[in-house]
Amino acid sequence: MKLCGSLLSVLTAGLLWAIPASAETLISDSGKTQIFDYQFSHYPGDVLEYHTEVRGESYHGLIQVTQVGNGFVSGWFSDRSQRGDTGCTGNVHIRFTGNNRYTSIWDVGGSYSPYLTCPDSGSSFSLGMTAYP
């Protein structure tokens, strides 16, 4: 019984070591998308900032966390270009894949204003990302 308790302690400590506890920046493999202050201890209602570049245009946006699970965070996003004439909304799902690696899936729904266009409306993108402290 004592051996079982020790083994469980080692496994639990190993699992906790593998899950990042502090906020990190997730950077896409291309370097064009960054999600700031990402961590496993998010709660629905939390807001994350992100920056991305699409076709040479820079966008700044927010992710509203709506769901948190075992190794994933989901939410809706909205962004706007630096020029101010384009912006998109949609859903994003970020999953921890191990070894400081994440996959983010972006489902672009459209624009949040009749005055903005969303050039990627109806598209989905999957980005491999790495966490940096």
- Structural domain includes residue 3: no
Look at the pTM and tell me if it is higher than 0.85.
no
Instruction: Flag whether pLDDT at 16 surpasses 70.
Output: no
Residue 116 in contact with residue 87, Cβ under 8 Å? yes
94 located within any domain: yes
Looking at the domain assignment, is residue 6 inside a domain?
Answer: no
61: CB partners within 8 A, 6+ apart: 49, 50, 51, 52, 77, 78, 79, 80
Question: In the predicted model, is pLDDT for residue 4 greater than 70?
Answer: no
Domain ranges, residue 99: 23-132
The domain total for the chain is 1
Residue 17 is assigned to a structural domain of this protein: no
- Residue 50, in any domain of the structure: yes
Res 17 pLDDT > 50: no
Token pair in block for residue 38: 């990402």
Any domain includes 35: yes
Let me know if residue 123 belongs to a domain: yes
Residue 8, in any domain of the structure: no
Give the whole-number percent of the chain exceeding pLDDT 90.
76
